[in-house]
């Protein structure tokens, strides 16, 4: 999951030592100035410049921390930058100041929804409907959230407990390919180079792969991932080139641009894609199927790691589930989930570079062996090694802090240094966050972020990037690039309708 550019956790949190502790201590002049700054923030927010909006709301709060709307507005801006932990915190602060400030209930509920905490969200929506029983908007939001909670409860109740997976029971041979299909064909059920090349061209023209072929690729990919440990070791020979890519998020035409610039995957041109292949962008099916095709074609030279968006809750909210249902069926959603559950959690290159989607850990004792032994065939938990590998973020200051996302942890340069020393590594590479140039070096160059979805969601204006290394020179070399045109399908086109209510 991407978040706002920069390090707002360090620069934008109010400094409590300099804030008044008593409403009576706030001068009329400071109240007036705070309100003026809040209006400036609103303009930034309206123009979708959320980073500057957060900065301005924070300054207004420093001058007068007793206005619920300042926290409520900043909570909304944090929601838009996917800092759900900060959004939750601000919404709760707003309600502590004014329990009747209904927008704060909405903000807190939205953050909980985004984190998949639907029951907590339902409580806040219920609180609003009790205060305003005739409010149609409040009732609509409550009903939508309630539907999700009931659906999850129903799916849990009917879930099979016999240990059988869809991949083991699906009757692929009964699936029929329509006679008028003119796209690429598997050869005896097997991916070939001709198939991979033809698939790219077919997807470029917005053609659809038959369900039978999709199922065959998914079942084969799951089998391949099941055979790998949670930590995969990669050996890059001397002088051999290796490429690391970050989040793709359903931006298929930008994925093709990477291959155009850097060459298609092959045994001589290996890749690692570091999670978040799907959601947000509306060509997620095309992205994940292309990547899985290359995984089957070059199993020892093409690598894929799990991101926080390769999870059921994220897919339900941010578009992948809706896209799969629109293009195929609910059954295929289940099969994709089974594949995602077996994606490796991290990769170690030449025993010197650790690559994971999110970041490091809440304690200093985690070893590569611990990562390798981490059980992963499940939905990501709210804490522990798996959670932190998928969700954590670096921070500029030393130590650790609660996550701005509400999940995982934020870790400083000292944490990175101790982890590298313990595990005899040179540096870590992670993704998970939008960066202006598509990459960023932190912690003295020992913690590198790479993000490969340019102009994220068609709004952020960022560049994408990828990293090249060679086996005898592990110094990262960065290539940044702009977004390319795509068919007129907006990001989040398949997202949960709930998002349209805000």
Residue 442 has pLDDT above 50, yes or no: yes
**pLDDT tens-digit series, residues 204-240:** 999 999 999 999 999 999 999 999 999 999 999 999 9
H or E element at residue 459: none
Say if domain 183-501 classifies as CATH 3.40.50.2000.
Answer: no
Confidence label for 158 from pLDDT (cuts 50, 70 and 90): low
To which residue do tokens 């089974």 refer? 338
- pLDDT of 67: 97
Residue 128 has pLDDT above 60, yes or no: yes
DSSP 3-state helix, strand, coil percentages of the chain (rounded to 5)? 45, 15, 40
**pLDDT tens-digit series, residues 274-302:** 999 999 999 999 999 999 999 999 999 99
Domain ranges of the chain: 8-115, 183-501
By annotation, the residues acting in catalysis are 309
Q: Mind spelling out the 3-state secondary structure of 379-396? A: CCCCCCHHHHHHHCEECC
Q: What is the mean pLDDT of residues 394-404?
A: 96
Nearest residue to 167 (alpha-carbon basis) of 210, 229, 215, 211: 215
Q: Mean pLDDT for the chain? A: 92
CATH superfamily of 8-115: Tetratricopeptide repeat domain (1.25.40.10)
Q: Are 195 and 213 in contact (CB under 8 A)?
A: no
Q: Are 452 and 246 in contact (CB under 8 A)?
A: yes
């Amino acid at each position: 999951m991407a978040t706002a550019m920069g390090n707002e956790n360090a620069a934008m949190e109010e400094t409590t030592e300099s804030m008044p502790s008593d409403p009576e201590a706030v001068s009329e002049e400071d109240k007036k100035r705070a309100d003026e700054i809040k209006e400036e923030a609103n303009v930034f927010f309206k123009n979708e410049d959320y980073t500057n909006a957060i900065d301005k709301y924070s300054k207004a709060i420093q001058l007068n921390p007793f206005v619920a709307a300042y926290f409520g507005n900043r909570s909304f801006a944090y929601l838009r930058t996917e800092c759900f932990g900060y959004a939750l915190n601000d919404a709760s602060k707003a309600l502590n100041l004014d329990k009747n400030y209904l927008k704060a209930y909405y903000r807190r509920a939205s953050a909980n929804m985004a984190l998949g905490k639907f029951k907590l969200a339902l409580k806040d929506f219920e609180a609003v409907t009790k205060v305003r029983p005739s409010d149609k908007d409040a009732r609509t939001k409550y009903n939508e959230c309630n539907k999700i909670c009931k659906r999850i409860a129903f799916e849990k109740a009917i879930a099979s407990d016999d240990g059988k997976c869809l991949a083991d029971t699906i009757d692929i041979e009964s699936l029929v390919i329509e006679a008028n299909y003119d796209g690429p064909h598997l050869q005896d059920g097997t991916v070939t180079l001709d198939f991979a090349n033809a698939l790219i061209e077919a997807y470029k023209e917005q053609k659809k792969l038959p369900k039978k072929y999709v199922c065959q690729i998914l079942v084969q990919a799951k089998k391949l991932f099941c055979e790998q440990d949670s930590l995969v070791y990669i050996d890059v020979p001397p002088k051999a080139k290796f490429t690391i890519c970050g989040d793709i998020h359903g931006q298929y035409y930008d994925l093709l641009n990477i291959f155009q610039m850097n060459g298609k995957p092959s045994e001589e041109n290996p890749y690692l894609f570091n999670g978040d292949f799907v959601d947000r962008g509306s060509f997620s099916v095309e992205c994940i199927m292309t990547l899985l095709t290359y995984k089957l074609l070059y199993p020892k030279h093409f690598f894929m790691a799990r991101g926080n968006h390769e999870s059921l809750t994220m897919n339900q909210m941010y578009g992948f589930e809706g896209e799969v249902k629109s293009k195929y069926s609910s059954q295929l959603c289940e099969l994709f989930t089974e594949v995602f559950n077996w994606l490796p959690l991290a990769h170690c290159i030449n025993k010197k570079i650790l690559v994971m989607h999110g970041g490091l850990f809440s304690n200093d004792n985690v070893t590569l062996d611990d990562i390798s032994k981490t059980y992963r065939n499940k939905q990501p938990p709210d804490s522990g090694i798996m959670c932190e590998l998928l969700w954590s973020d670096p921070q500029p200051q030393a130590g650790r802090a609660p996550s701005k996302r509400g999940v995982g942890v934020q870790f400083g340069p000292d944490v990175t240094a101790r982890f590298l020393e313990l595990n005899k590594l040179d540096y870590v590479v992670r993704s998970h966050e939008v960066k202006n140039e598509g990459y960023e070096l932190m912690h003295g160059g020992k913690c590198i972020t790479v993000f490969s979805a340019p102009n994220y969601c068609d709004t952020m204006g960022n560049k994408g990037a990828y990293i090249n290394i060679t086996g005898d020179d592990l110094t990262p070399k960065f290539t940044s690039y702009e977004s390319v045109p795509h068919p007129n399908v907006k990001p989040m086109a398949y997202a949960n309708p709930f998002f349209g209510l805000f």
